[in-house]
Amino acid sequence: MPIKLSDEFTYKKIIKFTLPAILMQVIVAIYGTIDGLFLSNYTDEDQFAAVNIAWPVIRIILSILGEIIIKPIFVLMGAKDNILRHAVINGRISFIGVTANILQNTFQCFTVTAGKPKIGFIIMLCAGITNVVSDYILIYKLNKGNVGSAVSGCFAQFVGGFLPLIYFSFKNSTDLYLGKTKFKIKPILKACFNGISELISYLSISFVNILYNYRLLKISGSDGVNAHGIISFFSLSFISIFLGFANGSIPIISYRYGAKNIKGIKSVLKKSLIIVTITSVIIFLLTEGFSSLLTRIFINEDNNLYKITLLAIRIYSISFALMGFNIYGSAFFTGLSNSILSAIISCCRSLLFEIIMIYTLPELFGLNGIWMAPSVAEGITLIITLIIFFFSNKKYNYF
C-alpha cells in the first residue's frame, strides 16, 4: 500500500518513504566509484589523478564556457604534463553530458513528488548499469583509460536524464507531467530561494574538491591527489545515504508544517534524529574496521600510495560520525521553508569551515591536516546546528 504524506510516520514508514531517494543518490555515487575502480586498477596513476582533478571542475562550469576556459583552470590548479593532457581530454568529453546530468538530478525530485520513487530508482539503476558495462568495455577491454571513463559517464547521464524526460512528457499514471503553462516568476524565485542550501551543498562539493586537489598537489604531488580521489569515490556513497535520507524527508516535514501539525513535526524529527545517529555510528565503525579492505580495492599493499591512503581514510572517517546531523539539520529547515537557517548550516559545513581548515590545518599537521579538515569542519558546524535548533525552537516548537 502506497505511503501518503498524511499518514502517521513510524520508523518503518520513514525509512520506506526515504529509501528510494537514498538508493538513487547512492547509485549515482556508486557508478562514480566504479569509474575509480577501473581507472585505479587498469590505467596509470597520472590518468587517475587527472580524472580526480577534472571532475569537480566539470560540475561547476557549463559546457560552452567550459570548453573555453577548462585548460587555464587546470593549469591554475597546478596540473602539468600528462595529468594536464588527460584532465583536459576527460573534461571536454564529460561536458557533453552536462545537460543530461542536470535533467537527471531534476527528475529525481519529480519522481518523488509524483509519488513514484520506485520509477526514479529503476531509472538510476539503469543508468548505473549502463556506466558499469560501459566502463568494463571501454576501460578494461578496449583500454581507453580516462577517455573511456568520460564516455561511460556521458552514456549513464543520457540514460538517467532522458528516460524520465520521456516519461513525464506524456500523461502517465500520476498527476504530474510536462505541459504548456504561463511563465510565472514568483513561484520560480521562491523555489530557487528555498533551495539555496541544497545549491550550496552540491556546488561546494566540487569547489572544495578543487581546493583539496590544489593543496594536495602542492603538499604531496599526485600521490596526495590519488589518495583523496580514492577517499572521494567511496565517501560519496556514504554521504549520499545522508543526502538521500535528508532530501527524502523534506516532503514529510513540509507537509506537516503546511498543515500546522506540530505534533507530527516533533514525532518525525525525533525518529529521524535517531535514524541518523544509528546510521552515523554504523558508517563510522564500518569505515574504521574495513579501512584496509577499502584501500586494497583500489591499490596494492606494496605501493607507497597504500600507506598514505590507509591513514587518510582512518582520519577522514571521523567526519562520517558527524556530518549526518548537519545534513539533516539543513534539510529540516528547508522543510520548514526557512531557507536562511538551512543555507547557514549548509554553508558552514560544506564551504566556510572546510575551506578554512584546508588552509590552516596543513600548516600545523602537514599532509594529515588535509585529512583532518572535514572532521573539524563538521564538528564546528554541529555546534552551530545545535545552537540554531535551540534558539529556533521558540518559533517552531519542535521539541
The larger pLDDT score, comparing residue 114 to residue 371, is at 371
- For the record, the C-alpha cell of 389 comes out as 535548533
Query: Lowest-pLDDT range, 108-117, 137-146, 157-166, 264-273?
Result: 108-117
Say how far apart CA 176 and CA 178 lie, in whole Å.
7
At residue 1 the predicted structure's pLDDT band, cuts being 50, 70 and 90, is low
Q: Which residue has the cell 520513514?
A: 14
- For the record, the C-alpha cell of 30 comes out as 556508486
Burial status of residue 47 (CB atoms within 10 A of its CB: 0-12, 13-18, 19 or more): buried
pLDDT of residue 137: 92
Is residue 240 predicted with pLDDT exceeding 90?
no
pLDDT of residue 112: 64
Mean pLDDT to the nearest integer, 232-245: 86
pLDDT of residue 360: 96
Query: Lowest-pLDDT range, 38-52, 287-301, 325-339?
Result: 38-52
H-assigned helices in the chain? 11-42, 45-60, 63-76, 81-94, 98-113, 117-135, 145-168, 185-194, 196-219, 222-258, 262-289, 291-298, 304-316, 320-335, 339-347, 353-365, 367-396
Say how far apart CA 318 and CA 51 lie, in whole Å.
26
- For the record, the C-alpha cell of 330 comes out as 539543513
Query: Lowest-pLDDT range, 123-137, 187-201, 246-260?
Result: 187-201
At residue 160 the predicted structure's pLDDT band, cuts being 50, 70 and 90, is confident
Mean pLDDT to the nearest integer, 129-150: 86
pLDDT of residue 286: 93
Mean pLDDT is highest, among 69-78, 126-135, 200-209, for 126-135
Mean pLDDT to the nearest integer, 48-57: 46
Whether residue 50 contacts residue 91, with contact meaning beta carbons closer than 8 Å, is answered with no
Say how far apart CA 256 and CA 277 lie, in whole Å.
23
The percentage of residues in the chain with a pLDDT greater than 90, rounded to a whole number, is 33
Mean pLDDT to the nearest integer, 133-144: 88
Is residue 353 predicted with pLDDT exceeding 90?
yes
Mean pLDDT to the nearest integer, 6-10: 87
- Give the pLDDT confidence of 56-95 residue by residue, as tens digits: 444 555 555 666 677 787 777 677 777 788 788 877 787 7
**pTM for the model:** 0.73
Is residue 272 predicted with pLDDT exceeding 90?
yes
pLDDT of residue 51: 46
Q: Give the contacts of 29 (CB within 8 A, at least 6 positions apart).
A: 236, 237, 239, 240
Mean pLDDT taken over the chain? 82
pLDDT of residue 104: 79
pLDDT of residue 54: 46
pLDDT of residue 380: 97
pLDDT of residue 30: 64
pLDDT of residue 177: 75
- For the record, the C-alpha cell of 133 comes out as 558495462
pLDDT of residue 170: 82
Q: How many CB atoms neighbour CB 157 within 10 A?
A: 26
pLDDT of residue 195: 67
